[in-house]
Amino acid sequence: MTYSIVPPYLLNRLATADDDRVSRASAAARRSLLVDPPLRHERAHLTASRPTAAGTRVADSRVNRTIFDAQGQETLPGVTVRRETDAATDDIAVTEAFDGLGATHALFLDVFGRSSIDDRGLPLLATVHYGDEYDNAFWEGSRMVFGDGDGEVFNRFTASLSVIGHELAHGVTQYTSALEYEGQSGALNESISDVFGALVEQYDRGQMAGEASWLIGEGLFTPAVSGRALRNMLEPGTAYDDDVLGRDPQPARMSDYVDTEDDNGGVHLNSGIPNRAFAVAATTLGGPAWNGVGLVWYDAIRGDISPRATFAEFADLTIASAAARFGDGSPEHVAVEDAWQTVGVTTHE
């Protein structure tokens, strides 16, 4: 299974659009939707053959990046175009991917003491220029893959640092909680990637929680789209409202939870609920989100979490993690507890 940044419901909407203004984008969306099934098979093979992260951590925690160029094809990995010690190229997608991998590695190492995705110094790999105007980016179990977008609705997918952080965070989840990608556990999987994608961007920019945008995928849409990003963590359901793409359908409260069989049980939809809980807790506390609520979420995914965890179970884990790290009744503990109540996952006792 691939973990893609653009939800299938959005690509489906674009693929069926009968509008001359987005005819190129519509065709690109149809091609992009056809790419997924063979990649799911390939990722299943990669996951089955890869050793687990158990064992001794590597002593060298320095970042080790390699960027490949698929040259418009759908064959991975592509041609090697930049290694860790190579000079920068004049290809902006290569530069953005290289820098984005580095920014993600820096957050996890500097803040969480984690040596790469697997905590054992895993080399970070990325392929750019994948497919023909491919409208997505994804983590397929061993590498990041970026499309160039169609130019009408989507720009190149290396342009958003939160997207790069989001997709690499799927790898962190893969090596920690291994949350199953379906229903509430799948929505938590997506939400955790949004959380760390936002933190990568905020840490790289030195932004405090109160000044951050909390947008995931800002810069992906062209100016023709009435929207700012794919998702808004602080205000789910407000990221875009476009006459072609429709309105952002993410719910912000548990009372609006979407019960569906589409999108693996609504993993991209319902992730808005835990997303908002994190953003509300972080903005309530203020300061750098990575040093407060970010540490709580990281502790939770590394703790005693079930691969089929529900929102309520994860809320309990984060509340307990906040108390364990910062103290019972601490501002962090109270903020996390109140945030889950704000989104309706937990209630006052």
> Is 43 within 8 Å of 2 (Cβ atoms)?
yes
> Is 147 within 8 Å of 131 (Cβ atoms)?
yes
Tokens 């019972």, residue located: 328
Q: Which residues of 209-242 are buried (b: 16+ CB within 10 A; e: fewer)?
A: beebbbbbbbbbbeeebebbbbbbbbbbbbbbeb
The β-bridge relationship of strands 65-69 and 124-128 is parallel
State yes or no: is 268 an active-site residue.
yes
- What the block records as the tokens of 347 is 């209630």
Cα gap 279→274, rounded to integer Å: 9
- What the block records as the tokens of 201 is 């961007």
The one-letter amino acid code at 49 reads: S
Q: What single-letter DSSP state applies at residue 51?
A: P
Taking residue 306's Cβ as centre, other Cβ atoms within 10 Å add up to: 14
Cα gap 116→172, rounded to integer Å: 8
Tokens 């958003």, residue located: 160
The H or E element spanning position 136 is none
Nearest CA to 29 out of 135, 180, 171 is that of 135
| Catalytic-role residue among 152, 268, 332, 333 | 268
State yes or no: is 348 an active-site residue.
no
Cα gap 104→117, rounded to integer Å: 9
Cα gap 195→111, rounded to integer Å: 14
| Catalytic-role residue among 96, 133, 152, 167 | 167
Which residues are known catalytic residues? 167, 268
